[in-house]
Structures are given as structure tokens and as C-alpha cells.
């Protein structure tokens, strides 16, 4: 019994090592921003979405926007919270790559309170008054919001201006590549496997 347990531990250790080596060799990924004011988990692996976000970045470069707030991402397909979080992180990472742009992450509770009090559903679009009030509330020049429109992660991104509340950018990015949380790839030994043997080995 003890011998079988030792063999199982060795096998699990080999599997864990293989998973680590495979993760280290995965192509087309680069490390996420290591924390800081604009966030970005040090445990995240990111894909390069710079090409997909080029038109968005070009637009922000054309207009006078020095600060922008992310008010959320909604999955319109199956309300997948993990996918919403990953798309939010991808948008955040691309925005923080823009030189002097100040990126604000809207407080979830504060935003939900605003939406409830004003009867606003951002997935159906924001009125000019709602956009302006949100921008004033968050003290930014513009606000950005995303909706996931397919299981292949086609994401529509809208930017609203704080000046007149109008939509200054709207585009769907097809098949957005999502950041990966490395902690989900970590191998864990099943509980109880390393516990001391309760039974006395028979002689």
C-alpha cells in the first residue's frame, strides 16, 4: 500500500513537471503588466491584441482624450463571468499600453447603483445624459464599454464622449484573444494523497 502511494506521488510529480514545461513553451504570449496603478495581475499571461485594437488606439489619438474609464463588459451569449473578466482585462491591458492615457477602472458597486437609480442598461446603449453623467461621476474625458457577441469572443467596443455624450467609436473585434490566468494551469496534488497511512502495513 505504501509502495503504491509512493508510485502515485512520483507519477503526479512527473505530470506536474510536464504541465509546467508545456506552459513555458506556449507560443505567441507575453507577460502581463506587473501590477501598478492600472492593475494587471502578475499571474496573467497575455496575447498580443495590438493589431485588433489599432483602430481604437488611432481614434483615441485623433481626439482630445487624456482619461478614460472602463464601465464594464457584458457577455450577451451566456453571461459567462470568467469570459467577461478576461475581456475586461484584455481591454484594460491595451488601454494601459497607450502612453499618456489615464485609465480608470469604474467601481462595480458605484456603477451598479448608478445604473439602477437611472434605469440604465449599458448593453442597450447609453443616452447622451447617461454618458455625460457617468463621465462626470468618474471624472474622465470618455467612457468605454464592451459586449461579447458570440462564443468565438467577438467583442463590440463603444466609447462615449464626456463632452456631448455621443458615441465616438464603435467597432466589433472578431475572435479577441483572451489573457490566461496562470494560476488555473497550476497542478494540484489531490487532497489526502500525502496524508499519513492510517492502516498498519501487514507483514
**Which range, of 62-66, 105-109, 150-154, 191-195, averages the lowest pLDDT?**
191-195
The 10s digit of each residue's pLDDT in 123-154 is 999 999 999 999 999 999 999 999 999 988 89
Average pLDDT, integer, range 169-193? 65
Burial class (CB in 10 A: 0-12, 13-18, 19+), 123: middle
pLDDT band at 3 (very low <50, low <70, confident <90, very high): low
Provide the 3-class DSSP secondary structure of residue 199: coil
Residue 42 has a pLDDT of: 38
Partners of 105 in the beta sheet?
70
- Nearest Cα to 76, choosing from 23, 9, 152, 131? 152
Q: What whole-number percentage of the chain has pLDDT above 90?
A: 44
* Domains of the chain with CATH codes: 30-184 (3.40.50.10610)
Residue 137, C-alpha cell as written in the block: 461621476
- This model's pTM is above 0.95: no
* CA distances, 113 to each of 121, 124, 145 (Å): 12, 17, 17
Report d(CA 34, CA 36) in Å as an integer: 7
- Nearest Cα to 46, choosing from 88, 75, 18, 105? 88
Residue 19 has a pLDDT of: 54
Amino acid at each position: 500500500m505504501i509502495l503504491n502511494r509512493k508510485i502515485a506521488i512520483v507519477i503526479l510529480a512527473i505530470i506536474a513537471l510536464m504541465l509546467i514545461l508545456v506552459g513555458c513553451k506556449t507560443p505567441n504570449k507575453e507577460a502581463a503588466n506587473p501590477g501598478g496603478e492600472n492593475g494587471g495581475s502578475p499571474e496573467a499571461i497575455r496575447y498580443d491584441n495590438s493589431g485588433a485594437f489599432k483602430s481604437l488606439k488611432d481614434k483615441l489619438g485623433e481626439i482630445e482624450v487624456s482619461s478614460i474609464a472602463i464601465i464594464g463588459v457584458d457577455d450577451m451569449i451566456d453571461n459567462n463571468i470568467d469570459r467577461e473578466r478576461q475581456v475586461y482585462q484584455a481591454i484594460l491591458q491595451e488601454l494601459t499600453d497607450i502612453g499618456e492615457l489615464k485609465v480608470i477602472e469604474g467601481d462595480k458597486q458605484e456603477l451598479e447603483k448608478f445604473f439602477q437609480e437611472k434605469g440604465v442598461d449599458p448593453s442597450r446603449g447609453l443616452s447622451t445624459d447617461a454618458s455625460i453623467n457617468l463621465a462626470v461621476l468618474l471624472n474622465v474625458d470618455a467612457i468605454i464599454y464592451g459586449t461579447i457577441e458570440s462564443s468565438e469572443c467577438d467583442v463590440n467596443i463603444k466609447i462615449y464622449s464626456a463632452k456631448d455624450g455621443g458615441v465616438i467609436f464603435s467597432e466589433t473585434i472578431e475572435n479577441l484573444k483572451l489573457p490566461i490566468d496562470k494560476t488555473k494551469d497550476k497542478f494540484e496534488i489531490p487532497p489526502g494523497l500525502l496524508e499519513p497511512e492510517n492502516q498498519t502495513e501487514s507483514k
